[in-house]
Structure 1
Amino acid sequence: MVIQPDLIISTKDLTKTYGQKPVVDKLNLSVPRGSICGFLGPNGAGKSTTIKLLLGLVKPSSGVGTVFDQSIVHDSVAIRERVGFLAQSPHFYGHLTARETLRFVASFFFTGSRSAIAARIEELIELVGLNGKADRPVKGFSGGERQRLGIAQAAINDPELIILDEPASALDPLGRRDVLRILESFRGRSTVFYSTHILDDVQRVSDTVVILKQGRLVAQGSIDQLLASDVTLFDVTVCGDGLEVRDRLRLVSWVKTIEAEAGLLSAEKMQTTKLRIQVTNSIAAETELLRLVMADSTIVVTQFGRTSYDLEDIFVSLVEGEVSHEP
C-alpha cells in the first residue's frame, strides 16, 4: 500500500488562459506539508500566475486546486487568512519604520493582546536581522532589507503556509544569503513555497522542487529524486584540437551529449577546450573515455574526472528538452 503524502497545495489540470494562449496549462501540483519547495522556471513560465491562482487573485479557466484542502475558487478568502504572502516587488509606506510597518500589518492579520503583538514583532525583527534598524524609516532601506522586512510581514500571523514570489531575484549575493537563512529558519514551523530562477539557492535550502516550462509541469519531486539520473557527467580539459575530439566522441554509442568551451592555459599561452560529456554507460566511460580522448597523439589531457550531476544540469535538460520528470 502506497502512503500518500500530506499535501498542503494540490491542483488537478489547473489551467489559466488569456485569449487563446494558456499561461498555466493543466498543472498537477503537489506540495507536501512542512516542505520548503522551490518553484522553478524561466521567465514567462507561468510561476507568478500560478501563485495568483493559488491565492484566488485570478480565477482558473478550468481545472481545480486546493490549499489546506480548501477550494482556491470558493474558499479563497479563508485561504488567504492562513497564508503569508510576499509579492515579487513589495511596496511599503516609506515614512513608517520597520516596527511600525509590522504593527500596521499585525492590525489586520494577528489576533492577540497588545503585548502578544509586540512580542511577535520583536521575534520577527530578530528573525530577519533588522534589530539595529527597526526604528528607521523604510524609505532608507536597501533592497535586501526591504525583502527581509517583506518576509517578516508575510510571517506576522505565524502562517501554516508562506508563499514568496521571487524573494531573492534582485539581491546581491549577501542579500540572497540572508534571505535563504530566513527561509531555512521556517523549516519545521511553516511550509514555504517560493518561486525563483536561481538554481543554486534552490539546491541549498529546498527539499522539494517544481519545474515549470511554458505553463506546463515538467518536473516535480524531492531534490534527491531529480538528481537520481541515469546519465553520468565527465569533465575533460584538453590542449589541442578539442573540437575534433568532440566530433569524434559524438560517434560513440554511450555518449549522449557533449558541450565544448574554449579557453586558454595562461602560463603556456596554449589553447584549451573544456568538454562536459554526458554518458549513459558510466562503466564504459570509466574504462574507455580517457583512451578515446587520447587516441590522437596531438591531444594533451590536462584534466579528467567524473563530476556530480547538479540541479542546473537537470533544469537545462528539462527546459531545453521535451522530457518530463515526475515521480
Structure 2
Amino acid sequence: MLVLSDSEVRTLFTDDLARETVRSAARQFSSGEADIPARVQMRLPVDHTELLVMPGSLPGIGALGVKTVGEFPRNAAAGVPTAPATVLLFDPETGLPEAFLDGTSLTLARTAAMSVVAAEHLAVDRPTSLAVIGAGGQALSHIEAFARRFPLERVRITSRTRERAHATAAAASAGGIAVEVTADAASAVAGADIVISATTARRPVVPDDALAAHACVIGIGAHSPEHAEIEAATVARAARVAVDTRRGSIDGAGDIAQAIGLGALRRDDVAELGELVTGAVPGRAAHDGITVFKSIGFAALDLVAARELVARARAEGLGIDVAL
C-alpha cells in the first residue's frame, strides 16, 4: 500500500490538476457514472465536533475508496488543522487497500478548485474583486486559488474572530496577495464580484442587501439541513442556482433547501456543477443578476484526485510502500 504524506500531496496537487479532477468528478457524477452513497455524519461528544465518512466508487477510472474528514474547531487554538482528513483507496478487483493519503491539504485544494470551476461558469467575465467571510483554512486556500486563477485587484476578508482574519490576511500577504480586513460582512461584500462564505455559522452570514447586483455567491461552510450561510432571499432572487450535487447540497444543507421550502425555488431549477461543466445547463447568461453556488463536497472529488495523485506519485517515486 502506497502512503502519501500531506507534503507530498501538496507537491503533486497543482492548481491545474485540482481543477481538472473537479471537472472530471463532476461530469462522472452528473452522468451517473459514479456510485456515491450518502455520507455518514457522526456527531461527537465535544461541542461542534463531528466525523464524516464518505465512500464511493467510480468504475470508469478504477477508483474505489472512502474519504473521512472531521470538524474539530478547537484544533485552531493548538495550531493544527480543524478539518483533518484521510483518503483510503482499495483495489476494485480484490478490495485490498491500495493507497492511503493524508487528505487535509487535498480537501482544501479540491474545495477551492471546485469553487473556482463554479466561478468560471457563474461569475462575470474577468472578476477583479473577492470577498471572503470566515478565516479558517478554507479561507486562505480560496484566496490563493482565486488569486492565481483570476485577475483580482481587491480582496477583502471578515470573520467573527478578528485576530484570525488578520492572521489569514498576513498569510496571504506573505504570498504576495494584498488582503484587507473589514469590520463586518456588509463592508466585505460591498461591490465584490465573487463572495465566498466559509464559516461554521448556523444562521446566514452573507448580507443579501449588501451584495452587488452581479455578485456570484459561493457557500462552502454549512453542511446540515438546519444550517445556512446564505439567506433564502439571496437564493430566491438568483438568476442561476447551482450545487455540487443535488442530493448533498439540497438535502444536506439548509442554504438551498430553505428557499425551496418557502416555495421561492424549485428543486428542478437547481443545476449541478457537472451540468455546467458539460454545457447541459447554461451558467451566467448576463452581466447583471446574482448567481449562487453551494457545495458540501462529495467523495467522487477525492477519489478522482487520489487516483491521479497515486499514479503521479508512483511515476515520480514519491510516497512509501507499506507491506500489509
TM-score scaled by structure 1? 0.28
Greater strand content = 1
Which has the higher relative contact order, 1 or 2, with Cα contacts under 8 A spaced 6 or more apart? 2
